[in-house]
Amino acid sequence: MFTTSGSRDWAKYYSESGALFVTMGNLSKDSYDLRMDNRRYVNPPENGEGLRTKLEPFDLIISITGDVGNLGLIPEDLGLAYINQHSCLLRFIPTCRNYYFPELMRSPLAKLQFNAPQRGIKNSFRLSDVETIVIPLPPYKEQILIAEKIRVLMNICDVLRASIQSAQQTQLHLADALTDAAIN
């Protein structure tokens, strides 16, 4: 597994267009889907820092300052992108590039490890902390089964969430109708 943090002092490379610059604002708290509503762009150097912080599909990004443990999984169709200094890049070997590890990083086990090394009043999770995260490593086929089961269960949760929201809306409409009937 390759780990690195984003480059510092990239303000000079900010641009109106160019490569996507993945920042803390693109990471999610309870998901690993990138939030793309606030995009920043850079035109970085082609060597050194640009090579080191360039993102690839299935790279997993973790926030390491502020709201530690927010996640972002780089999709295959993202295009040219880089990470900023408040993020850590985890690049797994090709046989481990699946949804098991992003799901694991959303788990209570990972969250416990993200919160353990907080230092002083500033939330921080050092690159060296990332490199020591305990990661259960089942066989590859089991990783795929676990990730698929989580996906199925999360879909059920989404359906339940939508049903609850619909029931709450119905309840509000009924309460309004009862109030109107009582007044009139």
Tell me the C-alpha distance between 170 and 53, whole Å: 49
Strands 87-91 and 60-63: antiparallel
Residues 135-162: tens digit of each pLDDT: 888 999 999 999 999 999 999 999 999 9
Together in a domain, 146 and 130: no
Shared domain for 78 and 57, answered yes or no, is: yes
Does 132 lie in the same domain as 119? Answer: yes
79 in the Ramachandran plot: left (φ > 0), alpha (ψ -120 to 50) or beta?
Answer: left
Residues 131 and 144 placed together within one structural domain of the fold: no
Q: Do 170 and 104 have their domain in common?
A: no
| pLDDT value at residue 80 | 93
* DSSP per-residue string spanning 23-36: -GGG-BSS--SPP-
Same domain, residue pair 182 and 156: yes
* pLDDT tens per residue across span 117-141: 666 666 667 777 777 888 888 999 9
User: Mean of the per-residue pLDDT values for the chain?
Assistant: 88
Q: How much is the pLDDT for 117?
A: 64
CB-based contacts of 176, cutoff 8 Å, min separation 6:
none
> Which segment of 47-51, 67-71, 175-179 scores lowest on mean pLDDT?
47-51
Inter-CA distances, 66 with 34, 55, 62, 124, Å: 18, 22, 11, 6
Co-location of 145 and 58 in the same domain = no
Q: Which residue has the higher pLDDT, 134 or 104?
A: 104
Residues 54 and 79 in one domain: yes
**Do 167 and 132 sit in the same domain of this protein?**
no
Q: What is the pLDDT of residue 50?
A: 79
Of 96, 115, 136, which residue sits at a domain end? Answer: 136
What is the model's pLDDT at position 10? Answer: 84
Domain that holds residue 16: 2-136
Q: Domain tally for the chain?
A: 2
CATH number of the domain where residue 46 is located: 3.90.220.20
Cβ density class 41-72: b for 16+ within 10 Å, e for less: bbebeeeebbeebbbeebbbbbbbbeebbbbb
User: 174 and 108, same structural domain?
Assistant: no
Place of tokens 């900023």: 84
